[in-house]
Chain A
Amino acid sequence: MPPAPTEAPAPPGQAVNADAKADAARRLRRQRRLRELGPVIGLVVLCLAGTWLNPDFATWDNAMNVLTRTAFIGIISVGMCFVIISGGIDLSVGSMAALIAGSMILVMNWVAPYVGSPLRAVLVGMVVALVLGAAFGIAHGVLIAKGRIEPFIVTLGTLGVFRAYLTYFANGGAITLDNTIADVYGPVYYASWLGVPIPIWVFAGVALLGGVLLNRTRYGRYVQAIGSNEQVARYAAVAVDRTKILTYMLLGMCVGVATVLYVPRLGSASPTTGLLWELEAIAAVIVGGTALKGGQGRILGTVIGAILLSVISNILNLTSIISVYLNAAVQGFVIIVVAFLQRGRR
């Protein structure tokens, strides 16, 4: 693979040993490219296997089903990618999604008679979801950055808190959206534009935005700097606390967006909503080539990671060659193999 000369960042100063350095740079680049290709190779192989096992896999409708399903986890993963790059983690996203879903349904049901039309109630609900997501995110960020509590502990705590409140609001049962509102809101999940369902468009939009934010803005560079070495970033006058709070807020808003898309699907939230989403989102980010220790990561890889995870369960559902008891094992093996393909230097 010939190196693209423009890509190589010129090593500052020291022109000694240029040859050896260029060589090392080339090797490093080749390694990185291989690593970036890992998840893609995994996905392609899986898709070929899926088509071979059941030709229905390769249909447009099935592809749209899988991508639409991926949208929730995918959107959350984009936010999670930022948090992990900054050296943090958020275990609460599944519970947060459940609580936001329940709260927005309650608000929509309650507000509908006052605002006049179901459409306006839905708009109010969407705003509530985004505001709640941002508020929860800011709360996490402040506790972590200003309160100096480990992100693992803060979000482990809120994981329990959020779900318990949803269960309390739902009285242990389900919170259901009124039918008139559900009819107006339904198209947000079920409708298509240019033959592609709305959630996929939103997912693509969020991913694109995330990519630009991470790679083309000062904020994105700060996030990476904090993740690779927080002390150095602090000495370099990076506003570490503010950047961290902003990062958790962004993730919270991603959860809000995902919930806005999730609620119209079933029109209800129950204590089992969003169960284990946090692990799926974290897995998508890591499978996509982001280091769990932070410092660097890729949005595109994260998107592919998320798609990869839902393709596995889709293929398992479309076939019956493997005992249903072993589904989780297949998923586990694939995750490990893909992670192996994209392993980096330690």
Chain B
Amino acid sequence: MKRRVFSAVVLAVSALATGSVRADNKMVMGVSVPTATHGWTGGVVYWAKHTAAELEKRYPGSKVIVKTAASPTEQANQIQDLHTVNKIDTLVILPFESAPLTRPVGQLKAKGVFVTVVDRGLTEASAQNAYVAGDNPGFGKVAGEYMAKAMGGKGNVVILRGIPTVIDNQRVDAFNAVMKQHPGIKVLDAKFGNWNRDDAFKVMQDYLTRFKHIDAVWASDDDMAVGVQKAIEQAKRSDIKLVVGGAGSKDYIKKVMDGDPVVTADVTYSPSMIADAMKLTAASRVKGTSMAPTTIIPSVLVTKDNASKYYFADSPF
């Protein structure tokens, strides 16, 4: 008896709750992201799952399905399955690669699915309803401006680049453009460390052999910064006053937060952009408001003052 009363109350309450956000629009959202193969994609998967639970709670009756794919082909098959089996009406996708997924995503959109593309834009903009991405030129610019200021506009800098890609070029070009405005700063060299700790260690060791005085290192990635710092430690060099990584991994945000003498700042390129994309899309779908065709998540400078805002203890990244 008691139980029946209780369930009636629950029903009433849930009816009220759904009523407040348009009961007629129960979204079924599919989220497709690459499998976690390195720190950043690990973060993407974490944020996607985390946000899925949050959205289902906020919009009762809606469903959010998160899938990971290990290759572009798998991802293309996966979104087809999401449509035919799970009957999704909304798709948030972080494409493995832009070109091979443009057609499969376009087909879904043609069948009436609302498509939000994250981080890597499709080669044909008509295949997507909305685009949410990180700011790569901003990533290099923010780091460059901080470093130029911290160095007082003079000194020697070495750069570690990622993997030869458009993303990396945009970042490094923007960084170099800032350095050009400071004639006192000399960029000694820029070599690829492949966003990899071990490769960064080797490249930094050789920089240290080659250059007798280095003031600052732009490691351009927190994973590479790990290798850079180990190489400096091993060489027992004290001339390097500043190491700036990037992407905002929790270890490096923690260092900034704790007032590390060398790692005084980080620049975000957060995998949580998938969360932003999911939230924006869900809000627009359920409430029926329109969504901006392009949303750029800015790369933000993290210093000791604001670091706690960017530290997520549970995230693997």
Contact = CB atoms under 8 A, between A and B. Distances in A.
Contact of B205 (A54, A65, A271, A273): A65
A266 B190 CA distance: 22
Contact of B209 (A56, A174, A313): A56
B54 interface: no
B114 interface: no
Interface stretch (A105-113, A117-125, A295-303, A317-325): A317-325
Contacts of A167: 35-37
A171 B316 contact: yes
Contacts of B202: 69, 313-314, 317
Interface residues on B, range: 35 or more
Contacts of A65: 205-206, 209
B78 to A, nearest CB: 18
A59 B195 CA distance: 29
Contact of A172 (B42, B190, B194, B196): B42
B203 interface: yes
A152 B201 CA distance: 31
Contacts, number: 89
A270 interface: yes
A172, A271, A313, A324: most-surrounded residue (chain B CB, <10 A): A172
B37 A172 contact: yes
Contacts of A54: 210
A150 interface: no
A272 B192 contact: no
Interface in A145-202: 167, 170-174, 176, 190
Nearest to B191: A324
Contacts of B37: 167, 172, 271
A243 interface: no
Contact of B191 (A170, A176, A271, A317): A317
B230 interface: yes
B316 A265 contact: no
Contacts of B223: 174, 270, 272
- Chain B binding surface, main DSSP class: helix
B271 to A, nearest CB: 10
B226 A325 contact: no
Interface string B1-44: 00000000000000000000000000000000001111101110
Contacts of A190: 234
A170 B316 CA distance: 8
A229 interface: no
A272 B210 contact: no
A68 to B, nearest CB: 9
Contact of A266 (B38, B41, B192, B230): B230
A330 to B, nearest CB: 13
B192 A317 contact: no
B226 A268 contact: yes
B76 interface: no
Interface in B190-229: 190-192, 194-198, 201-203, 205-207, 209-210, 223, 226-227
A268 B316 CA distance: 14
B164 interface: yes
B201 A265 contact: yes
B132 interface: no
Contact of B197 (A56, A172, A272, A317): A272
B258 interface: no
A324 B207 contact: no
21 contacts: A61-B209, A62-B209, A167-B36, A170-B42, A171-B42, A173-B39, A174-B223, A266-B230, A268-B226, A270-B38, A270-B197, A270-B223, A271-B37, A272-B223, A273-B198, A275-B196, A314-B202, A317-B203, A317-B210, A318-B210, A324-B190
